[in-house]
Amino acid sequence: SKEQKGTRTAHRVTTKGTNVPSHVDSFEGLKKYTIPSHLFANLTSSGYKEPTSIQSYCIPIMLEGRDIAAISPTGTGKTLAYLLPIFSKLGSPASSSSGDVGTGVRAVIVVPTRELAHQIHNECLKLAQGRKWKLVLFSKATANALSQKAARDKVDIIISTPLRLVAALQEGNLELNNVRHLVLDEADRMLDTEFMPQIQEIVAACSHSKLQKALFSATLPAGAERLAMEMLDDPVRVVVGLKDT
């Protein structure tokens, strides 16, 4: 449990799992991890001075490579909680590397709506400043632009709805076998009967042995929680709640 100083809302944080990595109290506290310095600069230029509660806990957990189920209220900064570790782990854009990074899409963020995908793409652009990351807000048009494998091989991060992603997989216009980070955002909706068949197809397509899976949500009802725990490997579960609620 943790009290936060200053004007930020006090949150109660609980964690569950084996060998839960320690949280940090500041972005400075992340310097024990090898985070590219331009990412710290981009946090500053985005006006992010201190991590929110969910970020304090999730960022180290994801940097340690663990699977995670993170539950925290709307507006508490869940997007940065997964984007910072993903950008950090990817290190540099695939297109800038001389072949030591495998080819093909390296991270996938799945969200229930186009509108949310758009918002997450905007958060990505903040961290992407100063580097030539290939970020794709997946749509019919951008999917068509990736119909050539050579174009797909340069992609760092795809942000998509489940249906759009599955359509591309079924058309044979997308491989996810080099994906290292798979995020299901708004996971309560993704693990519902509406999206579950697509989610299973996406998870199956992400066949790399070093795949990290992360679920983020404001709530996780019992049914979705059970599906989440089946999907994740040795996960850490983090729950942020408002104090005295």
CB of 153 to Mg ion, least distance (A): 29
Cβ 192 vs Cβ 224: under 8 Å: yes
Contact status: 7 vs ligand ADP (CB under 6 A): no
Residue 120 has which token pair? 């997450």
Cβ 234 vs Cβ 69: under 8 Å: no
Distances (CA, A) of 241 to 73, 87, 182, 225: 7, 27, 25, 16
Q: Which residue number, 158 or 183, has a Cβ lying nearer to ligand ADP?
A: 183
Q: Which residue number, 7 or 18, has a Cβ lying nearer to ligand ADP?
A: 7
Q: Facing residues of 216 across strands? A: 70, 185
Q: Which residue number, 75 or 99, has a Cβ lying nearer to ligand ADP?
A: 75
Residues at the interface with Mg ion (CB under 5 A): 78
Binding mask 79-118 for ligand ADP (x = CB under 6 A): xx--------------------------------------
Query: Which positions ≥6 away from 24 have C-beta within 8 Å?
Result: 30, 51, 56, 59, 60
Q: Which residue number, 58 or 136, has a Cβ lying nearer to ligand ADP?
A: 58
DSSP code at position 9 = P
Q: Which residue number, 72 or 212, has a Cβ lying nearer to ligand ADP?
A: 72
Among 1, 37, 74, 245, binds ligand ADP (CB under 6 A): 74
Please, what is the end-to-end C-alpha distance for the chain in angstroms?
A: 14
Q: Which residue number, 26 or 95, has a Cβ lying nearer to ligand ADP?
A: 26
- Alpha-carbon distance of 107 to 201, in angstroms, equals 16
- Alpha-carbon distance of 177 to 180, in angstroms, equals 9
Residue 86 has which token pair? 């993903």
From the list Mg ion, ligand ADP, none, pick the one residue 75 interacts with, judged by a Cβ distance below 5 to 8 Å according to partner type. Answer: ligand ADP
Q: Is 169 helix (H, G, I), strand (E, B) or coil?
A: helix
Among 42, 56, 76, 178, binds ligand ADP (CB under 6 A): 76
Q: Which of residues 32-61 bind ligand ADP (CB under 6 A)?
A: 48, 50-52, 55
Among 77, 96, 175, 239, binds ligand ADP (CB under 6 A): 77
Q: Facing residues of 68 across strands? A: 214, 236
CB of 48 to ligand ADP, least distance (A): 4
Phi-psi region of 137 (alpha: psi -120 to 50; beta: other; left: phi over 0): beta
Q: Which residue number, 23 or 78, has a Cβ lying nearer to Mg ion?
A: 78
CB of 185 to ligand ADP, least distance (A): 7
From the list Mg ion, ligand ADP, none, pick the one residue 189 interacts with, judged by a Cβ distance below 5 to 8 Å according to partner type. Answer: none
Binding site for ligand ADP (CB under 6 A): 48, 50-52, 55, 72, 74-80
